[in-house]
A and B are shown apart, each in its own frame.
Chain A
Amino acid sequence: GDSVTQMEGPVTLSEEACLTINCTYTATGYPSLFWYVQYPGEGLQLLLKATKADDKGSNKGFEATYRKETTSFHLEKGSVQVSDSAVYFCALRGVSGGSYIPTFGRGTSLIVHP
């Protein structure tokens, strides 16, 4: 079945450092790919998405490119802020038997220090 693997956390950075959170996936067909963010005490919310190969999703300074050849969707930000401290989930939506099948990675905690 479909699966998503993302790097273990926590990732600890100083403010203004560069961020990369790796995400790779296994899926049949051509899934859509998502990054969700969970701020402390809140539910998940969509950060960005990409629907086909070579698409780049971007939002709030974060970017991720859908790389079909490497089955990856790594999350990047050039300069993180303390307010970016959160848990980040990579996810995909595949199509299996006509059903909506969402699959999530285990989440990566990001801690940004002033």
Chain B
Amino acid sequence: EAQVTQNPRYLITVTGKKLTVTCSQNMNHEYMSWYRQDPGLGLRQIYYSMNVEVTDKGDVPEGYKVSRKEKRNFPLILESPSPNQTSLYFCASAPPVGRSHSDEQFFGPGTRLTVL
């Protein structure tokens, strides 16, 4: 089954304790992205990656890191989490640019993070 998976689905942690949220897709997509969803603010893009070893900042990259060493994986790293990073996080993937301008993104089920 074609899918985007995220782990963990729920995480409660404390300020300053480094954490990683994993994201994996099995559709051979070049493009991957991370979003956070907050009430009243909708979806905001954190980082995205056009291909392996290529990453770029989205609208709200502060406090986050990503890496893209393999096509299928795109982990989100919080080196020193703070309470304002409490949010619902989504990973997404999409087919490569140029194949079809109209191709949609496929989203993971979300990770609910609470930073105390």
State the A residues within 8 Å of B (CB). Answer: 32, 34, 36, 42-46, 49, 51, 89, 93, 95, 98-100, 102, 104-107
* Contact present for A43 and B90 (CB under 8 Å): yes
CB pair A46 B104 closer than 8 Å: yes
Contact of A45 among B33, B94, B102, B107 (CB under 8 A): B107
- How many chain B residues touch A (Cβ–Cβ < 8 Å)? 24
Binds A, one of B36-44, B65-73, B77-85: B36-44
Asked if B109 contacts A43 (CB within 8 A), the reply is yes
Asked if B97 and A42 sit within 8 Å, CB to CB, the answer is no
A32, A44, A89, A104: the one within 8 Å of B101 (CB): A32
User: Given A43-B110, A100-B50, do A49 and B94 touch, yes or no (CB 8 Å)?
Assistant: no
CB pair B107 A99 closer than 8 Å: no
Contact A100 B107 (CB under 8 A): no
In angstroms, how far is the closest chain A Cβ from the Cβ of B36? 12
Q: Can you report 29 residue pairs joining A to B where beta carbons are below 8 Å apart? A: A32-B102, A36-B104, A36-B107, A42-B109, A42-B110, A43-B4, A43-B108, A44-B90, A44-B92, A44-B107, A45-B107, A49-B104, A51-B101, A51-B102, A89-B42, A93-B101, A93-B103, A95-B101, A98-B97, A99-B97, A100-B31, A100-B48, A100-B50, A100-B97, A102-B45, A102-B94, A105-B42, A106-B40, A107-B43
Q: Which residues of B contact A98 (CB under 8 A)?
A: 97
B94 touches which of A100, A105, A107 (Cβ 8 Å): A100
